[in-house]
Amino acid sequence: MASPLDSTWGIWLISLLIQSLLQGMGLLQAYLYFFWYADGWMTKVTVLVVVALETFQLIMIFGSTYHYLIDGFGDFPGLLAVYWECWVQLGATYAAAFVVQAYFAHSIYVLQRKDKILPLVIFLFALVTFGGGLGQVILASRLVSFTQLDRVKTTTIINATFGAATDVLVAVGLSWRLQGAKGGIQATNNLLNYLIVFSINRGFLTAMAAIIQIILFFAYPGTFYFFAMVWLSGKLYMNTILATLNTREHAKSLLGSHGSNYQLGSVASAARFGAPKPAQHVQVAVTTVSDLERNEDFSSRDGKFAL
Exposed, middle or buried: residue 90 (CB in 10 Å: 0-12, 13-18, 19+)?
buried
More confident residue, 92 or 263: 92
- pTM (predicted TM-score): 0.80
DSSP SS3 for 260: coil
Check if the beta carbon of residue 251 is closer than 8 Å to that of residue 91.
no
More confidently predicted of 244 and 264: 244
Q: Say if residue 159's pLDDT is above 80.
A: yes
- Residue range(s) defining the domain that contains residue 300: 258-305
pLDDT: is 257 or 46 the higher one?
Answer: 46
Task: Return the C-alpha torsion angle 48, 99, 240, 297, nearest 10.
Answer: -90
Residues 164 and 299 in one domain: no
Strands (E), 101-255: none
Together in a domain, 221 and 239 = yes
Query: In this structure, are 70 and 99 located in the same domain?
Result: yes
pLDDT above 50 (res 288): no
Q: Is residue 94 a contact partner of residue 137, using CB atoms and an 8 Å limit?
A: yes
pLDDT digits (tens, 9 = 90+) for 171-218: 888 888 777 767 777 767 777 777 788 778 878 888 999 999 999 988
Rounded CA-CA distance 239/244 in Å is 8
Residue 1 domain-assigned (yes or no): no
CA distances from 251 to 43, 188, 258 (A): 18, 10, 12
Residue 254 predicted with pLDDT over 70? no
The reply to whether 220 and 292 lie within a common domain is no
Q: Can you give the CATH number for the domain in which 106 is found?
A: 1.20.1070
Instruction: Convert the pLDDT of each residue in 49-76 to its tens digit.
Output: 999 999 999 999 999 999 999 988 888 8
User: What is the sign, positive or negative, of the torsion defined by CA atoms of 25, 217, 63, 78?
Assistant: negative
- Reported as a single tens digit per residue, the pLDDT across 106-146 is 888 887 777 788 899 999 999 999 999 999 999 999 988 88
Answer yes or no: is pLDDT of 277 > 80. Answer: no
Alpha-carbon separation of residue 156 from 79, 168, 222 (angstroms): 22, 18, 15
Residue pair 90/137 in contact (Cβ under 8 Å)? The answer is yes
* The total number of structural domains that make up the chain: 2
Percent of the chain with pLDDT over 70: 79
- Which of these, 104, 133, 96, lies nearest to 121 by C-alpha position? 104
CA distances from 12 to 23, 65, 143, 275 (A): 16, 9, 18, 50
| Helices 84-111/153-180 angle, 10° precision | 20
Let me know whether 155 and 287 are in one domain.
no
Quote the pLDDT of residue 300. 36
- The burial class, CB within 10 Å (0-12 / 13-18 / 19+), for 60 is buried
- Does one domain contain both 172 and 289? no
